[in-house]
Amino acid sequence: MFIDTHTQLNFSDFDTDREMVIGNAKKAGVKQFVVPGVDHNSCRTALHLASVHPGVIFAGVGYHPYEAPHNPDISYLESLLTDEQNKKLIVAIGECGLDYHEYKGEVAAGRKDVQHRLLEEQLKLALTHNLPVILHCRDAFEDLFTILHTVPNIPRGVLHCFSGGLQDLRSSQELGFYVGIDGNVTYSKQLAMIVPHIPLSMLVLETDAPYLTPVPHRGERNEPKYIPLIAQKLAELQQKPVQEIMEATTTNAKALFGI
């Protein structure tokens, strides 16, 4: 079976047909899903989905870096994490991290500082509650690794939708992080050059649905049922059987998230 380790089934894009999307994914061999939160409402929805699909959907709770300017309430995440019923549903802190993409060409040091503080607070939560982190990183790898090396302890985790270069891959490997590969591997030439260098022991599969729809469905809404297309492309790039990709990524996902 496959596990989609990052799918936003908690987003409104799936409000009209969420159960059908889950059913179609299962028919395609995708049997479990990690649904991360990015803000207050999506965390709550992720937990609801995990509660009505026990053992199938698992929740992450966290704040995306774009939430940083809005001063999100860390104590809200803490309240979710300390609720006894939620403890069985939450498998990660995230999606959290750094994203400088919208600040390119701007003087944005202050905003970056706010992102840094928000990330550091969530890293502390992960350590306190012995949970992995789902890390978002866009145009910010140098700062991300600097922060990870300066915190007292580093939680285990995954670099969601990995977009770094070979040096970033090596840094991730040194920290013991997994890397998530998404549908853009089917059309990104840069990612296709990196994937052959990623050890199978580091790989997990993601859709980031409803975004990053793989070829040949680009332009459509992404869904977890497309995980096998990502696995097929990984198998091609790594010159390994699809079965080996499936088994390794499923084993890795279970080890990372404890599912």
Q: pLDDT tens for residues 204-253? A: 999 999 999 999 999 999 999 999 999 999 999 999 999 999 999 999 99
CA-CA distance, 142 to 220, in Å (whole number)? 33
E strand or H helix at 117, and its extent?
helix 109-128
Q: Which pair of tokens denotes residue 71?
A: 């001063």
Digit-by-digit pLDDT tens for the chain (259 residues) are 999 999 999 999 999 999 999 999 999 999 999 999 999 999 999 999 999 999 999 999 999 998 998 899 999 999 999 999 999 999 999 999 999 886 555 555 558 899 999 999 999 999 999 999 999 999 999 999 999 998 888 899 999 999 999 999 999 999 999 999 999 999 999 999 999 999 999 999 999 999 999 999 999 999 999 999 999 999 999 999 999 999 999 999 999 999 9
Q: What is the DSSP string of 15-42?
A: TTTHHHHHHHHHHTTEEEEEEE-SSHHH
User: Residue 160 forms beta bridges with which residues?
Assistant: 136
Alpha carbon distance 249, 259 (integer Å) = 13
- Counted domains in the chain: 1
Q: What is the CATH number of the domain that holds 153?
A: 3.20.20.140
| Enclosing H/E stretch for 149 | helix 141-150
Rounded to whole angstroms, the Cα distance separating 50 from 59 reads 6
What are the start-end ranges of the E strands in the chain?
Answer: 2-4, 30-36, 57-61, 90-99, 133-138, 157-160, 178-181, 203-205
Domain of 53 in residue numbering reads as 2-257
